[in-house]
Amino acid sequence: MAVPTDQEIERLGSTAKPFFSAKFSAGKVVLQGLGNCTLGKKVPRTTGDLDDGIFLDWHWDGCRLVVRNDRFGLYPLFYSCVGSEVWVSPSIVEVLRGNSKRQLNLPALAVFYRLGHFVGEDTPFTDVHFLPPNSILTWQDGKSILEAGPNASDQTISSDLSFNDAVDKYVHLFAQSVARRLPADENFTVPISGGRDSRHILFELVKQGYTPKVCPTVKYRPPATNEDTRIARLITAKLGIGHVELNKPPSFFQAVLKDVHLTNYCGGGHGWILPVAAMLNNKVSTMYDGLAGSVLSGGFMLAGAKFEFFRAQKLEELAELILRENRLEEANKQVLAKALYDSMPMDLAIKRLVTELRKHVSARNPMLSFNFWNRTRRCVASIPFAILSEIPVVYCPYLDHELFDFLVSLDECMMAGNRLHDETIRRAYPQHADIPFEDATLKATFTNFDRTYYRTSRKEFASYLMRRGWSGLDAVRPQYLFPKLLLEWSQNVAASPWYMRTALHAIEVDALRRVGQD
């Protein structure tokens, strides 16, 4: 499998996305797009009412549209029901072709620009929504009904298993999950890192007799430790698997811009994955992704002040802590246009986030629940199900229903410091216990740092701003951006231009808002 070219990376996202629309007018229905569509992959189950796997589908039977998705609602499906029209698509741009008023969703954006992703079913626009988990959306004769089923944030069951028994059950359920998701042919892969999630999947596949020919790893540019690459080499060498090391995208600016588009203007900072997407999209039949592994079993963000605020139901304090921890407030004030920034005050963001936090108060582990249903679902899931959506089958073994229910039932102390996951991997694959995990204590250095990388991106960004023209920069403060770019470019600043993500998102969303209005 060849390393992708710059041109292949540039072509990402060029494939048209499916959509469907219906409009009821004068007693007739006017249709556009695909009347029947299934995306993702259902996984057969022997028990339970819900289909396993990550998927969505819609069906037009001649008079009624029915849209369904999976239990977790991870596959992106945007919809609008404005007036007598309905539009559905995994692409927000396709949905906006309808009669959306394209009005900015200010509470949602107030959270987005401080948190880095949307929560719940929010999008940048008030009348375009992300389909909730385990939902059925129906439309007939100009009227829509949304039935959203209960999701796992309602999970209150607690397990009384000992740590030793929990490890044994984790070993069994994970093996069962992978056995339900075996590749249909030899054209499959597992992108590998230095952590736990991807190696767990790879070890289990090999144990069950399915060894990929090659595994890719993204090699970070200095300053970086590149622990992922070091560990991935050890894993693939021991298993006798080919290993492809991919450089990060050739242009930081282009990667950030493409990330905005590929994630449907919903953010994430996933530009680093573009070389993997260019290498695998339409070139492998099956990919395995470790989505949610660290959230469900790695003790991810399960302690500290946020955890205590949640337990005490001090939701306003918790919301403010979450919104301020990325330290983006001053950056937003500098980068965003004053009118836009003033329309999205911190109080508005806190109010919106509190509404979302309240949904998770009764969960067995409320912080885990909040992280999964928001950061994982609305941010991280964009990697396998938006950026890598041209791969026919993407399996996420950690989201097998039985495995998920087991993991969210456990006492959080079992997961502290990855204790549960580490011991599960060691016990299931003792022959690989000598392979270390990445060393998170290592410090990145600027050794061999290529200063031209970010310098070139600053130049590209400045050119982009000039092409937009002053009237196309209403959402940002060009009087701040241009001097900053010029100063950093002239000084050949080594650090990344942190403000580029916020600025590009704001400009692109504003351009989308203004379509048909100028």
Average pLDDT over residues 117-136: 97
pLDDT score, position 240: 97
Q: What is the pLDDT of residues 196-215, one digit of tens each?
A: 999 999 999 999 999 999 99
pLDDT score, position 151: 60
Q: Is the peptide bond before 223 cis (omega within 30 degrees of 0)?
A: yes
3 state DSSP class of 197: helix
User: What pTM did the predictor assign?
Assistant: 0.95
pLDDT score, position 156: 55
pLDDT score, position 359: 93
Of the candidates 475, 294, 286, 460, the one whose C-alpha atom is nearest the C-alpha of residue 376 is 294
- Spell out the SS3 assignment of 299-323: CCCCCCHHHHHHHCCCHHHHHHHHH
Average pLDDT over residues 273-297: 95
Q: What is the pLDDT of residues 87-119, one digit of tens each?
A: 999 999 999 999 999 999 999 999 999 999 999
Contact at 8 Å (CB) between 95 and 85? Answer: no
pLDDT score, position 222: 61
Q: Indicate the helix (H) or strand (E) that contains 200.
A: helix 197-207
Domain ranges of the chain: 18-149, 163-300+362-432, 451-514
Average pLDDT over residues 146-160: 70
What CA–CA distance (Å, rounded) separates 198 from 244? 15
pLDDT score, position 363: 86
Q: What is the pLDDT of residues 350-386, one digit of tens each?
A: 999 999 999 999 888 888 899 999 999 999 999 999 9
pLDDT score, position 51: 85
Residues of the chain above pLDDT 90, percent: 77
Average pLDDT over residues 480-489: 96
Q: What is the pLDDT of residues 51-99, one digit of tens each?
A: 899 999 999 999 999 999 999 999 999 999 999 999 999 999 999 999 9
Q: Structure tokens of 504?
A: 């590009």
Contacts of 123 (CB under 8 A, 6+ apart): 78, 92, 105, 108, 129, 130, 264, 265, 266
Q: What is the pLDDT of residues 408-426, one digit of tens each?
A: 999 888 988 899 999 999 9
C-alpha distance from residue 511 to each of 210, 392, 400, 507 (Å): 47, 32, 40, 6
Domain at 163-300+362-432: CATH architecture: 3-Layer(aba) Sandwich (3.40)
The overall average pLDDT reported for the chain is 92
Contacts of 12 (CB under 8 A, 6+ apart): 258, 262, 274, 277, 278, 281, 387
CATH T-level assignment (fold) for domain 18-149: Glutamine Phosphoribosylpyrophosphate, subunit 1, domain 1 (3.60.20)
Q: What is the pLDDT of residues 431-465, one digit of tens each?
A: 999 999 987 777 655 555 567 889 999 999 999 99
